[in-house]
A and B are shown apart, each in its own frame.
Chain A
Amino acid sequence: MTSSTTLGSNGAESPSGSEELRRDVAAACDRIAPTWPLDRFIAVNPYWGWRSSDITDAAARLGRLAGTRLTMPRSWFRSEWLAGRLLPHDVADAANACGAPELIDPAFDVLQAFDQPAQPVLRRMALVTDQRDELGIMPVPGQSWTDLVVHQVSQHCASYVDVWQASWAPNTSQGLLSAWRTDPSVTHGVAWRHGRGWARAELDALPSDPIDAISMMLDQLGVAAEGREAYLTALLTSVNGWAAWFAYRRWQARLVGADDDTIVELLAIRCAWEWLLDADADRTLREAWAASWSCFDELVAMGAADQRLDWVLQDALERSFQRSIIDGSPNATPSTAAADVQAVFCIDVRSEVFRRALEATSESLHTRGFAGFFGLPIEYTPAGSALTRPQLPGLLAPSLAVTETDGTLDPRAFAATRGSALAERARWREFRTDPSSMFSYVESLGLLAGVELIENSLPHRDPPVAWERDGLRSTLGQLRPRLAVVDDDPAAAAEIGHRVLRGMGLLDGFAPLVMLCGHGSQSTNNPHAAGLDCGACGGQTGEVNARVLADLLNSAAVRQELGALGVDVPDGTWFVPALHNTTTDQVELFDTADVPESHRDRLGQLVAALHDAGNTARAERSAELGLDACAGDPKRLEQRIRERANDWSQVRPEWGLAGNAAFVIAPRWRTRHLDLDGRCFLHDYDWQADADLSVLTLIMTAPMVVTNWINMQYHASTVDNRRYGSGNKVLHNVVGGNIGVFEGNGGDLRIGLPMQSLHDGHELRHRPLRLSVFVEAPRSSIDSVLDAQPVVHDLVHNGWLHLLRIDAVTGAVERRARDGWLP
């Protein structure tokens, strides 16, 4: 944005006023968490911008600004109480821990009362649009001013950022705000009392710089300096979906050291609607309204007092949940059996079910948890294609490029061949969608859709061919993703490998067979499909990462260099890449042709074990998929689940990470004896091998933050699906090809999870509990990470997650409170 020292209408304002406004604008924008596009739909904590505030304070503020709650209705806690999931002891403990022993009795009143007293309706502080609505005068019958403004802003933003849906794109060279000022929808889409000409003149008078414009409008609206940050934040959250989209653009720009200020222009547009509506109503309501924003802090304090009881109940429920792990932890015994196979899985909660099933097949089968991108900061380009996508967590920027090869092909010729095949497809797409072609398309080829209709309505079991193979000949041999550095510079490759192995805690004691197992999902016709894939791989499957790492670690040259770094990978060890299909619980092994003859038997045993484990895992999941009738017949169950994954009408292909509630950072033996019900992230960690705390720091700053994002995405989508979830899947309408969805016709861009991912129609599948992180490490180690890492400090001390410590000797658990460790 161009910096400007002269301010629009009010020349009397001092430059410091402008600085102050810039700070307020920046603060408002920083409150908005980004949302990723649907084809890389990773989970985000929508409250991320509030992490430096205590969660209860953030909730009170968001209540006033957005009319949202961060906790479930009290009646829900009562149902948890009745179901025995909320224990009396924990209510008292929670109240005391919250420093509110006086709330113990009120809490029990809520839990035991037959008649729930209605909870007060939470309303956001009125914006000008809300005020207009309260007068009862709608712009059009059936549509409120609030809806009209959100819809108009949303349509404008969608058109501005769309790349893939509309074939006739608008001119975006002039900026979001400038484009909006000339948009006839503003003048013609509303019946202005003062007429279109008036609206046109007002818009023309608006400064083109967004900060100048906001400054001028706030002056005319009469919002005083002390209320501005709150007001601007409320405006942005009223178009939260698009604000999140532009926050994403800013996030991506900042990852590579640039910046993007479109979010400020969005804020100016939303503010301009307020300003226009206020002026059109001749500013009749302004005085008292504008003054209310100056009292924001007092209003928040009142709201916070009302919500204290809710937080006691929330905390109590989380304590009750933690008991199973707290009670189970001391009973663990270290495993003694030597490992025949080590299987490394993603920390994802869905891995827990499968790992438990796999471990049950043999004592000598050990599993480990590690972030599913296997620590490789890569981006991946399917051979000869124009697509490049990151395969790592959204917190990071990729630094290594991976492409595919079969070892012989000439990349340029290959790209040309594939390119012309793809170009031919593009032509036919144009034929289908161009205005002067679409009629003839329907008449000449439309009847063929009838065949597809029938085909799609019949069950299919085999997974579809990967879309990444479009435009490739089916006769083409196996392509393999590789890192060029493995051949070019084995020493550099060894350093990557060393870092990864150290993070895994796998520097010695290699089993003959090490399976590196990424994961991915399988669903059809599902706009949110990427949300079921591996979040650590940027919303993709982990196949590429697993294959690249296995290739790297199997390379003789790299192993030699690894030896120089002190890691001795025995010749008898082979790494085999795999992919866990979390929808069907099948595991596919890759590149098995390379497995040495000596390992064939073991590989066969592993395949058999994976098959058995798949049956066990599917049987465990069958009830939640409504397939309990087939639970006793593994073959039939497998067929049904595979059909389900291909069913184009299936809105609940799998339950994803629903139910997630804990993250255990400890050796696997600590929890191996526990049934964690697919609700726990598991990361292996051996504190004794981490003298400099670099591994613990990495785990707590990366995987722990990612699990917080996942946990809070599910939490927010559950407690307020309207604002932080994407509503009903049967109404979803994909915007811009991959940007996001509208629920129905229009309205704001919807972020977060659809209701069908959280609720089965009868009950909630995700019970919103804040993440409980259990770390097996000495107090001092954890404390020093807390002190050194502000993000971790914020998350723990402001109540965005619970931090608990497992004592390595006794297995006893203590919890981290703001002022120290408590039993």
Chain B
Amino acid sequence: MLADLANSWSLVVPLASTVVLALAGVVARRCAAASSAWSVGRSATAVAAFVAVLATVIFIADGAASGAFVRLDALTVLMLGLIALVGWVVVRFSATYLAGDPHEQRYAARMLMTLAAVSLVVVANNLLVLVVAWAAASFALHGLLTFFGDRPVAVAVAHKKFLLARVADACMVGATVLFATSFDTLRIDEIAARAASDPLPTAGRLAIALVAAAALLKCAQLPFHGWLIQVMEAPTPVSALLHAGVVNLGGFVLLRFAPVVDRAVETRTLLVAAGVTTAVVASLVMTTRVSVKVSLAWSTCAQMGFMLMQCGIGLWEMALLHLLAHSLYKAHAFLGAGGTVRRTQRLQLHSRPSPPTLAALVVGTITAVAGTVAVTLAWGALPGTSSLSSAVWVLLVIVALAIVPLVVPKHGRLRAASLVRALAVPVAYLALHEVFAELVPAGPDAPRALLGIVVIAAVGLFVVQSASQLSPHGPVMSRLRPWLYAGLFLDDAFTRLAFAVWPPPLPDERPALLPQPRAVPIVSTMKPSAVRPPEPSVLAASTGSTGREAS
């Protein structure tokens, strides 16, 4: 890293976020007062935000640069900006939200450490640094997921994630070895450049397949998704951070290796198959879920599948857009999850919309498709717009189906204003595509078969969704629903198998956050050998000598 330091400021500045956040993490852990820990955290995230701005300025002024360890390009800048924004928001939020918890400092420290590690992942140009930073992010996050370590479910779920993350780490280590031996370098930009120009050796093919496998595991794709759904056992801002800043790193790493992926058809197939399956199943499961956070988690699972699918068909610019937009959307959705009740009240102002008729749905679909095609052709006729690849056309099919609910006639009528607003969606889509295509080059056209799979899946999803609206209690749909509600029991099977090999640790012996008498059978039976202290004393908690710290 010293070489980088000597080389150019443009390779030092991006590292500053990691350094500041990590230092802040160390300091926050040692603060005597929680308020000072949070001041440290707020300042550090503010600095990280400044660093992200500075890095952007440098990038715009000097263009991309890369050294042996650090890389500054559009992807780095955007990801640093994302992490800085999410970090700033989430730390500010947590400072108030967690107020009064006996372990705020520990929480703040772990959160800052997670942000530090993620910031390192996104600037790394050395494969080894990337692997270590990615693993570090996972370890730091583990500390947040087990923040309430006395909750058995929290411990078991974090353990489940821990197992999968280590398998993913092993994949990355394997990929590192294979890349190092076949390309003779650990610099990611060199590997990517070499892959773009030369034919990909077998070891390289295997390596990129391992990277994709790691991405699938860390992006919680079926059937390894259970942990993502169940980590609601951690405070809300941890979920926001996880869903906005950590789970999507699989997509980021693939973006780094985009030219290699483009050359490896088996990896592309793997990404499309796993991504599409997860997107379809998880999005349908989401519509059956009854609690807001679990519903959001299934949505993330599906969105990650969609993003990985886009990686598979070489739509890198859209994968990046998806990654960024989803992060912001999901961070906001999680942090605002408490507003669900108010939103439901707002919904109640309007009588519950009756399901559409088949005829209305058909008319709506035709309108949406025709409208999207018209908008796209008009867009293409504009001067200065680039021509659209077949993969983009596939996505436009998905957009057309997406805007159907906006244009389905209600009571036989569709207002012109509704149609105009609906068609703003493909316009926004095409414009964003134009912008992001400037930032990240698209890959070569994907094999027809892969595009075919995506189209079939998209249409299939639309048909199942429509059927569930038209006849939710018909013979097929009413049988399908309980299975979807149970997530097809995929996680049950995986958990049983995984825990049989490596059972989770027992929950910590910690008194509750508040001095509440605990319901005895539920707790004591978790650990027949050790009897909990009967009722944790108020005095102990009020004088600050809490058992959680001691244990």
Contact of A733 among B95, B293, B482, B503 (CB under 8 A): B293
Question: A56–B118 Cα gap in the complex (Å)?
Answer: 56
Contacting residues, chain B, for A134 (C-beta < 8 A)? 525, 528
The answer to whether B398 touches A76, judged by C-beta atoms less than 8 angstroms apart, is no
Residue-wise, chain A 216-249 has the 8 Å CB interface mask toward B (1 for contact) of 0000000000000000000000000000000000
Say yes or no: A437 contacts B481, CB within 8 Å. no
Give bound CA distance, A124 to B514, whole Å. 22
Q: Does B197 lie at the interface of the complex (its beta carbon under 8 Å from any beta carbon of A)?
A: no
Pick the contact of B292: A449, A652, A734 (CB < 8 A).
Answer: A734
Contact between chains at B522 and A147 (CB < 8 Å): yes
Taking a contact as CB atoms under 8 Å apart, the answer to whether A428 and B89 are in contact is: no
Stretch at the interface among A155-163, A392-400, A551-559: A155-163
- CB within 8 Å of A: which of B526-548? 526, 528, 531-535, 537-539, 542, 544
Residue of B nearest to A763 (CB): B542
Q: Which residue of B lies closest to A71 (CB)?
A: B517
Do A155 and B290 form a contact, CB below 8 Å, given A73-B538, A438-B299? Answer: yes
Q: Is B50 an interface residue (CB 8 A)?
A: no
What is the distance, in angstroms, from B243's C-beta to the closest C-beta of chain A? 12
For residue A699, CB closer than 8 A to chain B, the reply is no
Complex: A736 Cα to B403 Cα, angstroms: 26
Q: How many A-B residue pairs have CB under 8 A?
A: 427
Which of chain A's residues have a CB closer than 8 A to the CB of B385? none
Whether the pair A438, B302 counts as a contact (CB closer than 8 A) is yes
Q: How far is the CA of A720 from the CA of B99 in the complex (A)?
A: 22
CA distance A147 to B152 in the complex (A): 10
Supposing A75-B535, A130-B525, A733-B293 touch, asked if A435 and B286 sit within 8 A by C-beta, the answer is yes
Interface string of A136-162 (1 = CB under 8 A from B): 100011111011000000010011001
Decide: A735 near B525, CB < 8 A? Known: A422-B349, A442-B326: no
**What residues of chain A lie closer than 8 Å to B535, measured between beta carbons?**
73, 75, 119
A110-143 contact mask (Cβ, 8 Å, vs B): 1 or 0: 0000001011111110100010011010001111
Chain A residues positioned under 8 Å from B153 (CB to CB)? 142-143, 147, 744-747
Name the A residues within 8 Å of B329 (CB-CB). Answer: 442, 446, 449
A733 touches B232 (CB 8 A): yes
Q: Let me know if B453 is at the binding interface, CB within 8 A.
A: no
Q: Is the CB of A456 within 8 A of B428?
A: no
Q: Pick from A171, A444, A525 the residue with the most CB of B within 10 Å.
A: A444
Contact A426 B92, beta carbon cutoff 8 Å: no
Contact call A649/B100, Cβ cutoff below 8 A:
no
Of all chain A residues, the one with the shortest Cβ separation from B507 is A142
Q: Does B373 contact A (CB under 8 A)?
A: no
Are A140 and B537 touching (Cβ within 8 A)? no
Is A136's CB under 8 angstroms from B528's CB?
Answer: yes
CA distance A68 to B351 in the complex (A): 42
Asked if B538 and A75 make an inter-chain contact with CB atoms under 8 angstroms apart, the answer reads yes
Specify which chain A residues have a CB less than 8 angstroms from the CB of B462 in the assembled complex: 436
Cβ contact within 8 Å between B344 and A651: no
- For residue A529, CB closer than 8 A to chain B, the reply is yes
Complex interface bits, A637-662 against B, C-beta within 8 A gives 1, otherwise 0:
00000000001111110000000000
Residues 722-741 of chain A: 1 if any B CB is under 8 Å from the residue's CB, otherwise 0? 11010010111111111000
Known: A140-B495, A144-B526, A744-B151. A651 touches B335 (CB 8 A): no
Task: Kindly name the residue among B95, B148, B237, B332 whose own CB sees the greatest number of chain A CB atoms within 10 A.
Answer: B332
Given the known interface contacts A164-B347, A189-B486, A444-B429, the answer about A159 and B286 at a Cβ–Cβ threshold of 8 Å is no
Once the chains are docked, how many angstroms separate the CA of A452 from the CA of B333? Answer: 10
Task: Name the contact of B100 in the complex, choosing from A162, A527, A756 (C-beta under 8 A).
Answer: A756
> A130-B525, A424-B418, A434-B405 known; A170 and B429 CB under 8 Å?
no
When chains A and B are docked, how far (Å) is the Cα of A468 from the Cα of B342? Answer: 10
**Size class of the A contact interface (CB-based, 8 Å):** 35 or more
Question: How far apart are the CA atoms of A422 and B339 in the complex, in Å?
Answer: 19
Q: Name the one of A66, A168, A425, A453 contacting B288, with C-beta atoms under 8 angstroms.
A: A168
Cβ-closest chain B residue relative to A387: B348
Q: Are B341 and A738 in contact (CB under 8 A)?
A: yes
Check if A435 sits within 8 Å of B525, measured CB to CB: no
Are A453 and B89 interface neighbours, CB within 8 A? Answer: yes
Task: Tell me whether A121 and B534 are in contact in the complex, defined as CB-CB below 8 angstroms, given that A67-B521, A386-B348 are known contacts.
Answer: yes
Question: Which one of A173, A426, A439 contacts B303 once the chains associate, using CB atoms below 8 Å?
Answer: A439
Determine if B516 and A755 form an interchain contact, defined as CB atoms under 8 angstroms apart: yes
B344–A442 contact, CB under 8 A? no
Instruction: Indicate whether A447 sits within 8 Å of B538 (C-beta atoms), given known contacts A468-B349, A736-B290.
Output: no
B539 touches A79 (CB 8 A): yes
Asked if A165 is at the interface (CB within 8 A of a chain B CB), the reply is yes
Asked if A441 lies at the interface with its beta carbon under 8 angstroms from chain B, I say yes
Contact segment of A180-188, A473-481, A689-697, A780-788:
A180-188
Query: CA A470 – CA B96 in complex, angstroms?
Result: 29
Smallest CB gap from A739: residue in B: B290
Look across to chain B and name the residue whose beta carbon is closest to the beta carbon of A171. B473
B159, B234, B351 interface centre (most CB from chain A within 10 Å): B351
Chain A CB within 10 Å — which of B148, B410, B538 has the most? Answer: B538
Q: Which residues of A contact B426 (CB under 8 A)?
A: 444
B residues less than 8 Å from A328 (CB atoms): none
Give min CB distance, B409 to chain A, whole Å. Answer: 11
Q: Which B residues are in CB contact (< 8 Å) with A426?
A: 347, 350, 353
The 8 A CB mask of B332-376 against A (1 = contact, 0 = none) is 110111111111111111111100000000000000000000000
A623 at interface, CB cutoff 8 A: no
Q: How close is B216's CB to chain A, nearest CB, in angstroms?
A: 18
Is there contact, CB below 8 Å, between B534 and A737?
no
Contacts of A120 in B (CB 8 A): 534
Are B85's CB and A385's CB within 8 A? no
Interface residue B321 (Cβ < 8 Å from any Cβ of A): yes
Q: Knowing A423-B410, A738-B345, A761-B102 touch, does A441 contact B335 (C-beta < 8 A)?
A: no
Residues from chain A with Cβ under 8 Å of B393 in the complex: none
Question: Shortest CB–CB separation between residue A451 and chain B, in angstroms?
Answer: 9
Q: What residue of chain B has the Cβ atom nearest to residue A119's Cβ?
A: B534
Residues of B within 8 Å of A171, CB to CB, are 472-473, 478
Q: How far does the alpha carbon of A385 sit from the alpha carbon of B349 in the complex, in Å?
A: 5
The answer, among A185, A454, A649, for a CB contact under 8 Å with B97, is A649
Known: A387-B345, A744-B153, A746-B291. A731 touches B233 (CB 8 A): yes
Is A380 among interface residues, defined by CB-CB distance under 8 A? Answer: no
B-contact 0/1 string along A19-61, CB 8 Å cutoff: 0000000000000000000110000000000000000000000
In the bound complex, how far is the Cα of B481 from the Cα of A721, in angstroms? 35
Instruction: Answer yes or no: B306 CB below 8 A from chain A CBs.
Output: yes
10 A-B pairs within 8 Å (CB atoms) are namely A68-B517, A142-B156, A143-B153, A170-B485, A420-B415, A435-B286, A437-B401, A439-B279, A735-B292, A762-B544
Taking Cβ atoms with an 8 Å cutoff, the residues of A that contact B are: 38-39, 66-69, 72-73, 75-76, 78-79, 116, 118-124, 126, 130, 133-134, 136, 140-144, 146-147, 155, 158-159, 162-171, 173, 182-185, 188-189, 191, 382, 385-387, 419-420, 422-431, 433-447, 449-450, 452-454, 456-457, 467-468, 470-471, 524-527, 529-530, 647-652, 718-723, 725, 728, 730-738, 742, 744-747, 755-756, 758-764
Task: Give 6 nearest A-B pairs by CB, closest first.
Answer: A761-B100, A446-B325, A142-B156, A133-B525, A440-B402, A435-B283
Q: List 11 extra interface pairs beyond A420-B415, A444-B399, CB under 8 A.
A: A38-B341, A120-B534, A133-B528, A141-B503, A386-B348, A387-B348, A438-B283, A735-B292, A737-B340, A745-B153, A746-B294
